[in-house]
Structures are given as C-alpha cells and as structure tokens.
Amino acid sequence: MEAEVLLQDDVEGSGTMLSWLASCLMVFGGALPYVPQYQEIQRSNNSDGFSTRVCLVLLIANILRIFFWIGKQFELTLLLQSVVMILTMFAMLHLCCMVQNTNRVSTKQHRLSDLDFRYFWKWSAFEDYLLFCFGFTVLCTVVTLLLLDSPVFVETQGSLAVMFEAMLGLPQLLQNFHNHSTKGMSVKMVLLWTAGDVFKTTYFVMNESPAQFAVCGSVQILIDVAILLQVLFYSQDTRTKLG
C-alpha cells in the first residue's frame, strides 16, 4: 500500500513539474523566435528584411488579450505571455529604430505628430511607437470600463485579440512577396514560430482554453508554412538567376 502511495505521489509530482515547464515555455517561448532575428539585425546592421508591422500586429493582439483577460479570466500563463511579448516587441522596435536612424541618408524624419498616414508605423523615433501604444491602451481602458458587463463585448474583444495574433506572420509574408526575397529575414525565427505555434495550439486544446485561441494557432501554422515555402521558392529563384 505504501509503495502504491509513493508511486502515485511520484506520478503527481512529475505531472506537476511537466505542467510547470509547459507553462514556462508558454510564457517565454513566444519571445524566443525573435532572438535570432534580433541577432541578425545587429550583425548586418540592416532591418529591411524584417517587417516591423509584425510588431504592430503582436502589440495590438497582446494589449487586447490583456483586456480580454480582465473580462474573462483564463489561464494566468497566457496573461504573463502577453506581457513578455509586449516587452519583446518594444525591444525589436527599439533596435530597428536605432539601425534605421544610423543608416538614414536623408535628414528628414517622420513623426507620429505629423499625422501622415503614408508613414504610419514607419516613424523615426522609438518614442512615437510607445506613444501610439499608450494611446491605444487608454482607448481600450475606457471602452472596457464602459462595456465590461456585456458578454458580447468581452467575447468580441477576445476574438479581435486572437484574430490579430493569427495574422502575426502576414506582414512578413507580404514583405517577402513585395521584395521577391527573404534576405534579412531570419529563417530560424520562422522555424521557431512554426514549432511554437504547433506547441501552443496543442496546449490550448489540452487545457480547454477559449476556442478563439485554438483557431488562432491553426491559422498561424498555415501562414508559417507559407513563409517557409517562400524561403524555398526565392532561394531557388536566386540560384537560377546566378546561373
């Protein structure tokens, strides 16, 4: 009997440890793909291959997810993941701004205060990105306080959050298509995106998270695969041109 109790305790302890490790991977795993891209930008001193609109999509998605958590308190793990992701995107934007300002030939700078939509999210100063996100957060705060008692609003907010997150790779996909190249984009980043999206989609299903999260993960996997196909296609095209 004592042996059975000890075995059961070991099994429960192992399950708790695995659950804890899975939660840690969920919190910090989403930021890992950006480490090789960050290093690539630092190494080449060029950010042209990376679409900063990826940062825009993730910032909006994770700010919305935090407010969704206020209305519908799901796993704390996913809330912490959003905080880590927001900090990661600010780090990426800060690096991109520094590199672009270093390489800029023209003295003309584009600021948020110019209200020129042609240069939306192409601002010269990192502070403008912070200001935009602050304004968006204030707007979300006001609307959430007014409509928090509405289940329809809360679910819509959650759907918007995961819809934006599902579009994470789309700006990079479009930029690659526009450039007819994946040069400057870290393939390691996309591979880690794919691995992370498969993991988190499985996590969502197993933990019975809101359905929006599983749908988001599935769409992200499809976009990841499309970007990897671009890597193969454009690398073959380049080899053909080089003879």
The domain boundary, picked from 149, 183, 203, lies at: 149
203 in the same domain as 104: no
134 in the same domain as 47: yes
CATH, residue 208:
1.20.1280
What domain range includes position 34? 26-149
Give the mean model confidence (pLDDT) for residues 101-130.
Answer: 87
Give the mean model confidence (pLDDT) for residues 155-180.
Answer: 88
How far apart are alpha carbons 51 and 176 in whole angstroms? 9
pLDDT band, very low/low/confident/very high, at 13 (cuts 50, 70, 90):
low
Closest CA to 26 of 85, 114, 103: 85
In 108-210, which residue ranges form alpha helices assigned H by DSSP? 126-147, 151-166, 170-179, 187-206
Domain membership flag for residue 161: no
112 in the same domain as 172: no
210 in the same domain as 135: no
Task: List C-alpha distances in Å: 115 to 111, 121, 126.
Answer: 8, 11, 16
pLDDT averaged over the chain?
85
CB atoms inside a 10 Å sphere around CB 19:
12
- Sequence letter at residue 107: T
183 in the same domain as 122: no
Give the mean model confidence (pLDDT) for residues 113-128.
Answer: 91
**DSSP calls for 117-134:** GGGTT--S-HHHHHHHHH
Domain membership flag for residue 8: no
pLDDT band, very low/low/confident/very high, at 197 (cuts 50, 70, 90):
confident
pLDDT band, very low/low/confident/very high, at 12 (cuts 50, 70, 90):
low
Domain membership flag for residue 123: yes
- What angle (nearest 5°) sits at the alpha carbon of residue 105, between those of residues 104 and 109? 60
Which comes out higher in pLDDT, residue 83 or 239? 83
Paired tokens of 63: 């700010």
How far apart are alpha carbons 63 and 83 in whole angstroms? 8
Which comes out higher in pLDDT, residue 131 or 4? 131
Domain membership flag for residue 101: yes
Lowest mean pLDDT among 149-153, 161-165, 186-190: 161-165
Lowest mean pLDDT among 68-77, 102-111, 214-223: 102-111
Using the predicted structure, report yes or no on whether residue 65 has a pLDDT greater than 70.
Answer: yes
pLDDT band, very low/low/confident/very high, at 106 (cuts 50, 70, 90):
low
What is the pLDDT at residue 52?
93
104 in the same domain as 143: yes
Using the predicted structure, report yes or no on whether residue 17 has a pLDDT greater than 50.
Answer: yes
Whole-structure pTM value = 0.81
Angle, helices 170-179/53-71, rounded to nearest 10 degrees:
170
Give the mean model confidence (pLDDT) for residues 26-39.
Answer: 88
Which residues neighbour 94 within 8 Å (Cβ) at sequence distance 6 or greater? 126
Total tally of structural domains belonging to the chain: 2
Q: Assess contact for 224 and 185: CB atoms under 8 A.
A: no
Q: Assess contact for 61 and 168: CB atoms under 8 A.
A: yes
CB atoms inside a 10 Å sphere around CB 78:
23
The domain boundary, picked from 96, 120, 149, lies at: 149
Q: Is 197 exposed, middle or buried (0-12, 13-18, 19+ CB in 10 A)?
A: buried
